[in-house]
Chain A
């Protein structure tokens, strides 16, 4: 299989499929062969579903051949983090607790991707219940980073990040409660969007913390990300957190450039609240300079300390997650991996008043951020403070949970888009995060698209995966 097909973007593949220059069956067959060849090394998949995929690809090919092209996702291979339900398949949450638990219906996001003609390749590795990882004491091994398999690939949407970087599929879904889309995006050098809270339905997705959970697209390029969000965004009356807001055309700002935009720089997150790795800080400074040079009005803004968002978010997360897991922790504590068990037990000692005060604090933090964003189109800051650490470095892995600037936007619910921002001297991806107003995803895509085209970082792929 040519490397070109492995790293074909969703938008490019869609055009080739629409014009019948690429057969969905050929595309899916080639990607499945690549997964078979390489995934033993990267563990992106928990379950590959080749027969199901080929049946769907054949159906798509027949429909498109008959002139019934449904849109850019028709015949498009994709994969799902294994906390998202697919009717008839197990949703394991990468845990012994749910091993063999067959979903009786599709999650809403699965329904939407299937209705758009998507071709599911399989279910992807995650940190157990989207909270604790990487873990070596679970029924499946953890995903590994294609840029260097001795290094962490991020999480909890670890298989989504690893599989995209490895060229196994052009699009995947992840979930993000405290940064779980944006962390693997940073570590694996791909593009991950945590949309606004309520933008994408969570019905049929295993909850971690109801008021912080988000579902979002993970792709290699910005344009592909916008195309996937277009498919999954929209109101769902069955999800109490779903927002009844109109869904704009996320491709409409493509090619508009960035001149005249006003972007806040939240520099204190990665310089004084937490001291970012010098190469990561340098990459962020270079990005701000590039945007300013293109006519963006940039200015530093000050938000509450990163540690405040982290404390507020972690208290809420721990309390809500414990409500989900209490019974299992009481009855089957031994069936969790060590990392998930430790993180989930944090909720056991919280009092109701702690949780409620954190919820009150959250509203104050949200209002302070809204004031700081009042005259801005978006803001830029770090996602991760460091390139990926070694996967066997327990201390650095623990630090990964607080050396990040993702939780603030789970707390506020604003959209956060992470894109590649270069590479460390050791060849590991660096990243940046763009943050928008609620439901302001289109502005983030506009800025990110400009940056991506100006730098070309997304054109690089991990070495040693060509055939």
Chain B
């Protein structure tokens, strides 16, 4: 397993991954790369990513 991958896992706090786990991590990351390549990046700036936050409590 290459050191670069191990370093990446370590940087993410995943320092208990075994060699087998690291191979899985690599496959998982590669699979996610495929999805990320389809992700549009030019979304209009005014379009908020989500509208789920609401302040709690009674109006004065």
Seen from chain A, the residues whose Cβ lies within 8 Å of a Cβ on chain B are 240, 307-308, 310-312, 314-315, 318, 326, 329-334, 338, 341-343, 345-350, 354, 356-361, 363-364
Contact = CB atoms under 8 A, between A and B. Distances in A.
B32 A314 contact: yes
A345 B38 contact: no
B1 interface: no
A350 B32 contact: yes
Contact of A349 (B18, B29, B39, B41): B29
A317 to B, nearest CB: 10
A175 to B, nearest CB: 21
A357 B47 CA distance: 10
Nearest to B25: A345
Contact of B47 (A308, A326, A358, A363): A363
Interface residues of B, number: 31
B14 A333 contact: yes
Contacts of A312: 38-39
A360 B43 contact: yes
A341 to B, nearest CB: 6
A315 B14 contact: no
Give the top 9 A-B pairs by smallest Cβ distance, nearest first.
Answer: A311-B35, A346-B28, A342-B24, A311-B38, A356-B49, A345-B28, A359-B49, A360-B43, A346-B32
Contacts of A315: 32, 35-36, 39
A363 B38 CA distance: 15
Nearest to B43: A360
A348 B36 contact: no
8 contacts: A308-B38, A312-B39, A315-B35, A330-B16, A332-B16, A333-B16, A333-B18, A361-B40
Contact of B16 (A331, A343, A354, A363): A331
Interface string B42-54: 0100011110100
B21 A357 contact: no
Contacts of B9: 348
A343 B29 CA distance: 9
A128 to B, nearest CB: 14
A185 to B, nearest CB: 25
A160 B24 CA distance: 28
Contact of B24 (A308, A345, A347): A345
Nearest to B31: A346
Contacts of A350: 32
Interface string B1-35: 00000001100111111101100110111011011
Contacts of B48: 360
A430 B29 CA distance: 33
Contact of A333 (B17, B32, B43, B47): B17
